[in-house]
A = this chain, B = another copy of it.
């Protein structure tokens, strides 16, 4: 179970039940302390992390030797509330000794079959609230 606990201003600490914690925060203008990732940036990290794991795993299983792998993301947000990500741009850069076709296939498998986060983003999950 994931738990968030309010700390101060609009800053929260999140726990995953496995001894990990992260600070979730926002800018000072909005009432935060700028001491951690914002929720909208965490959404981008979730997407990139999920796909990057798939791609690195699949390329490696096909015998590729990856020496560096980065993902860069930009979220283009709507101007008006709720200022959602209208579009997300993800750039993957993979260096090492591997076949380009394996990288492309790994990317496609992640996007279309394996990546849990992008599938969740596509599917508008049901959300139940209790309060």
Contacts and interface: CB of A to CB of B under 8 A. Distances in A.
Contact of A49 (B4, B30, B73, B113): B4
The DSSP consensus for interface residues of chain A is mixed
Tell me the number of copies of this protein.
2
Interface string A2-23: 1111100010101010101011
Looking at A34, A111, A117, A127, the one whose CB has the most chain B CB atoms below 10 A away is A127
Contacts of A36: 20
Nearest to A5: B70
A43 B115 CA distance: 13
Contacts of A38: 16, 49
Interface of A: 1-6, 10, 12, 14, 16, 18, 20, 22-24, 26, 30-32, 34-50, 52-53, 56-57, 66, 68-75, 77, 81-94, 103-104, 107, 111, 113-131
Given A10-B53, A85-B125, A118-B127, 10 more contacts: A2-B48, A4-B48, A6-B70, A10-B56, A18-B34, A30-B53, A30-B57, A84-B123, A86-B125, A121-B127
